[in-house]
Structure 1
Amino acid sequence: MRSGEHGESACLCVFTRAPVAGKVKTRLLSCMDAESACRLHQQLIDSCLTRTIRNDAWASRLWGTDRTDKFLMRMSEKYAIPLCAQQGHDLGTRMAHAVKTTLQDYQHVVLIGTDCPELDVAYIEAALQELQAGAECVLGPAEDGGYVMLALSKYDESLFYDVAWGTNQVLAITRERIRTLGWQCEEMPVLWDVDRPEDLERLKMMDDL
């Protein structure tokens, strides 16, 4: 049985971009300025970590595009989790590296972003229960055709390479590749991301931010 230094069998990998104005939440720049979009990105990161970190139940790692970013360093210290550097030339290769590396130390890995305000501890717990029951994969579908969570007990590079990231085909492509692998895959309820101007109205109705 693979487990971390404190005996956890699962590791939560939180993927995010370093908050640089003009480089994050670019699809929202039609309705807010770059600095406001950057602040929203920071708030989403902090809120996500508040809702998902469970140091008594699973290990957690924050994977950022810049390991020297001061905000990400503060988040790492605040939540007492390691800050790791994403490695790769696109999102797929960066996620592949994180998953492959993590599964060397843990039985299960749960990969999430920071843009889904409904993703919480209960969602992650349910995914881990499916993995512990024998599923190789658990998908958390997103309304926009992507996914908000990918939980795995196995690694295969086909899940990460030659995928049209950022399009509404990501979920369909991933489902097809899992079928090709012959893996048992379970799916969680569909959630939504904060990506588009219309998502801001939904966010305002929540208490998180």
Structure 2
Amino acid sequence: MDHHRSSRSLRRAQWSLQGHGHSRGNSPHRTRHGPAPVKIDPALIVLAKAPVAGRSKTRLHPPLTMSQAAELAEACLVDTLKAVAETPSAGRYLVLDGKPGPWLPRGFDVVPQRGRGLDERLTSAFEDARTPSLLIGMDTPQINAQLLDDALASLRAGSDAVLGPAPDGGYWAVGLKSQPGKAFMGVPMSAAITLDAQVQRFKSLGLNWALLPALRDVDVWADALEVAAVAPASRFATELSGMAQLLEQPA
């Protein structure tokens, strides 16, 4: 598979057919009426920014230099793409702000990010994939194939949407079984209320949604230390350990 194809050449997969959408609650265990969904294997999407000094992980400065922050961002991305590559799925898409580099493994379709705000970029990413999908960012290098496979299974099992909460009030993953429509537009992003606002949007659209396990995403130095501690075998943890030794800070 050529991993440098544009979004124009992506194959057209069918979205699943849902019931009438009159969900009476947010629990995946509630009974829904209408026809059973057509089972279509979901794809995996990584929404990422190319690791470039001054543009990637800038909130890690200080204590890191901008160059070190970009190196750590690349480690985040490498670990994330590795987990996605190890997870069976209908497709693997890297929706990228910037240009791909030698860190990109084979088997990914690279799609340029479209939109101004994050709500627009999320909408465009799902539209360009043209299939039920689970989308993650590049901020959770502790992710692994088992977590991703479980999340995909939740979509296959009947949830219209899934959300992976983060401690800062946002979310590290979001999955949709149908076209995004108004699922993201106008939802406040990168805020302490993002997860709650997204849940309310799903409710207003009558979507049957489920929560995934919570994961901490890497925004600041304290996040980086905690994430490295729970994924000591990751490239991220290795890179961080070397940087922390230079800074004479524990990792």
Match of residue 123 from structure 2: 96
Match of residue 60 from structure 2: 28
Shift in alpha-carbon separation, 1:19–1:117, aligned structure 2, 3 A: closer
* Aligned residue among 166, 169, 182 for 1:145: 169
Partner Cα separation in structure 2 for residue 112 and residue 200 of structure 1: 18
Partner Cα separation in structure 1 for residue 221 and residue 57 of structure 2: 10
Q: In terms of mean alpha carbon deviation, does 48-57 or 189-198 score higher?
A: 48-57
How much has 1:203 moved relative to structure 2? 3.4
Match of residue 63 from structure 1: 95
1:15-56 residue CA offsets vs partner (Å, 9 max, x unmatched): 101222111112111211100000000110001111222475
Is the 8 Å Cα contact of residues 142 and 227 (structure 2) preserved in structure 1? Answer: no
Matched pairs, number: 197
Q: Which amino acid aligns with 2:102?
A: R
Is the aligned partner of 1:75 residue 2:99? no
Q: Which amino acid aligns with 1:74?
A: P
Match of residue 75 from structure 2: 43
Q: In terms of mean alpha carbon deviation, does 117-126 or 166-175 score higher?
A: 117-126
Match of residue 86 from structure 1: 113
Q: Which amino acid aligns with 1:64?
A: L
Match of residue 189 from structure 1: 213
Which 4+ residue blocks in structure 1 deviate beyond 6 angstroms? none
Is the aligned partner of 1:207 residue 2:233? yes
Q: TM-score, normalised by structure 1?
A: 0.87
Unaligned runs of 5+ in 1: none
Q: TM-score, normalised by structure 2?
A: 0.73
Is the aligned partner of 1:170 residue 2:194? yes
Q: Which amino acid aligns with 1:137?
A: A
Query: Secondary structure of 1:159's match?
Result: coil
Q: In terms of mean alpha carbon deviation, does 183-192 or 18-27 score higher?
A: 18-27
How much has 1:65 moved relative to structure 2? 0.7
Match of residue 50 from structure 2: 18
Q: How large is the Cα RMSD of the aligned pairs?
A: 1.9
User: How do 1:120-139 residues align onto structure 2 when only pairs under 5 Å count?
Assistant: 120-139=144-163
State, as a whole percentage, how many aligned pairs show the same letter: 26
Greater gyration radius: 2
Is the 8 Å Cα contact of residues 43 and 89 (structure 2) preserved in structure 1? Answer: no
Query: Secondary structure of 1:157's match?
Result: coil
Is the 8 Å Cα contact of residues 73 and 83 (structure 1) preserved in structure 2? Answer: no
Partner Cα separation in structure 1 for residue 77 and residue 64 of structure 2: 18
